[in-house]
Amino acid sequence: MRARRLALGALAWTAIVGAGLVACGGGGGGGDGTATGVALSGTPGVGSGGTGGVAGAGGDGPAAALGDCQLFPEQAVFNTRIDDTARFPAHPRSAAWIASVGATTAFRADWWRFENPADRNSYYGMPVNLVQGGADTDWANLRYDFNGSGASTEVGWPHESDCAVDDGAGGHAIARNCAAVPAASRRFPVPRSGPKLENGTCNDPAGCGDRHLLVVEQGACRLWESYRTYQLGGQWYALATAAWDLRSLSLRPDGWTAGDAAGLPITPFVAKAAEASAGEIRHALRVTFRDAVLASSHVWPARHGAGSANAGGIPFGALLRLRGDFPIPASWSPQAQAIATAAKRYGLYVADIGSDFYVQGEPSVQWDDALFRQLGAISLADMEFVDLGAVTRDPRFSPDSMAARW
């Protein structure tokens, strides 16, 4: 078994404005990386495990989009409804996993309503940057070794990372395994107008947390994400980076970390104010738990685990669902109803080490103040973990694809 390193993202701090403890997950590498060379971004549907035939699981329309990009094809498991309990029953370990955390643990919306990135006491959540990849984007050189920065000695995981390289035609291609790319050629798209990062303008690796940078490249429809991202002395650093073709169903190599410890994308799972305000969220969400209740193993669709090897713990990639018998009050705000409904229909994937039952969203003034209190009425006793065997035992299933229906 490969050795794994503890994810560094279990930093927590107390926010004012009554929101309580906040914790966001981070990468957490490990392993020696077996893939080599440079791989260009895939074509639509690569690794899909099949695109024709009758859907094998519930789905009721197009996937969510950001700008002009759909957040992965409709067949992706993250965009697939799992509220049919005949097809997707409770996992046999559900009760034990919930008991290990504590059934009274409340849902915590891990974001807030202010957008000033300089105010660390009120700015938190995971912002998403939209770029065109041209004049609005700096393809900055990126280092995975903080030695020499004068601020940190952390060393990252380029061998499990994706970065951008010059494609020779004035654009950039995705390179897989950045350890195989000359250090001077490793690039990452940074919004020229000023990137929005988790933890805002806080820029000290010793105390500013995971500082994820999430970028959706419009036109090319590629997703770029980085973990522990800092600009020090004019140089950009990160411990891990990952990229996806949003038109493809391909997962990254099994065993590789990403912006989160589970090796999954972050952006598609983030709760976004505009879609909640519209009354419907058409994708799964992400959730964290403390290291003591997590296993260091992972299950599909996750690609990686981290932390301590807790026997019988919750694996990374496990899917949590709001039970169908939970009555969503009509008195809740439309945003809170949309989030609770998404938790029923699409679920929450265990993505990282952090605080128990913390669910991530973007910072936005559009959020309704009431939803934080309303969602806090949901406890783990109202949830259940889901058995995805209806997908993983299907003969068309591919463990290297995020496809859940065909």
Q: Give a three-class secondary structure readout of 183-251.
A: HHHCEEEEECCCCCCCCCCCCCCCCCCCCCEEEEECCCCEEEEEECCEEECCEEECCEEEEEECCCCEC
Q: Say what the pLDDT of residue 224 is.
A: 98
pLDDT band at 60 (very low <50, low <70, confident <90, very high): low
Q: Say what the pLDDT of residue 61 is.
A: 77
Report cis status (omega within 30 of 0) of the bond before 301: yes
What token pair was written down for 276? 């909640």
Residue 6 included in any domain: no
Structural domain of 184: 12-392
Euclidean distance between CA atoms 60 and 52, whole angstroms:
17
pLDDT band at 27 (very low <50, low <70, confident <90, very high): low
Residue 403 included in any domain: no
Q: Say what the pLDDT of residue 28 is.
A: 52
| pLDDT of 353 higher than 50 | yes
Residue 4 included in any domain: no
Euclidean distance between CA atoms 179 and 285, whole angstroms:
31
**Residue 394: alpha-carbon gap to chain centroid:** 26
| pLDDT of 4 higher than 90 | no
| pLDDT of 56 higher than 90 | no
Mean pLDDT rounded to a whole number for the chain? 89
Q: Check: CB of residue 361 under 8 Å from CB of residue 271.
A: yes
Contacts of 265 (CB under 8 A, 6+ apart): 223, 225, 242, 244, 258, 259
Average pLDDT estimate for 118-134: 95
pLDDT band at 337 (very low <50, low <70, confident <90, very high): very high
What token pair was written down for 149? 């920065």
Nearest CA among 303, 208, 292 for reference residue 252: 303
pLDDT tens figures, 131-188: 999 999 999 999 999 999 999 999 999 999 999 999 999 999 999 999 999 999 999 9
Residue 400 included in any domain: no
Residue 94 included in any domain: yes
Residue in the structure block whose two tokens are 């038109």: 247
Residue 366 included in any domain: yes
Q: Say what the pLDDT of residue 100 is.
A: 98
Q: Say what the pLDDT of residue 67 is.
A: 93
DSSP characters over 324-339:
TT----TTS-HHHHHH
| pLDDT of 127 higher than 80 | yes
Phi, psi of 215 (to 5 degrees): -130, 125
Query: How many CA atoms lie less than 13 Å away from 247 in the CB half-sphere?
Result: 12
Average pLDDT estimate for 222-229: 98
Total of domains in the chain: 1
Average pLDDT estimate for 21-36: 43
Q: Say what the pLDDT of residue 350 is.
A: 98
SS3 292: helix
Average pLDDT estimate for 100-104: 98
DSSP assigned state of 288: E
Q: Check: CB of residue 272 under 8 Å from CB of residue 19.
A: no
Residue 249, Cβ density class (10 Å: 0-12 exposed, 13-18 middle, ≥19 buried)? buried
∠314-317-319 over CA atoms, to 5°? 80
Residue 406 included in any domain: no
> How far are the Cα atoms of 284, 294, 343, 348 from residue 378, in angstroms, in the given order?
17, 21, 11, 13
- The mean-pLDDT minimum among 51-60, 127-136, 189-198, 230-239 falls in 51-60
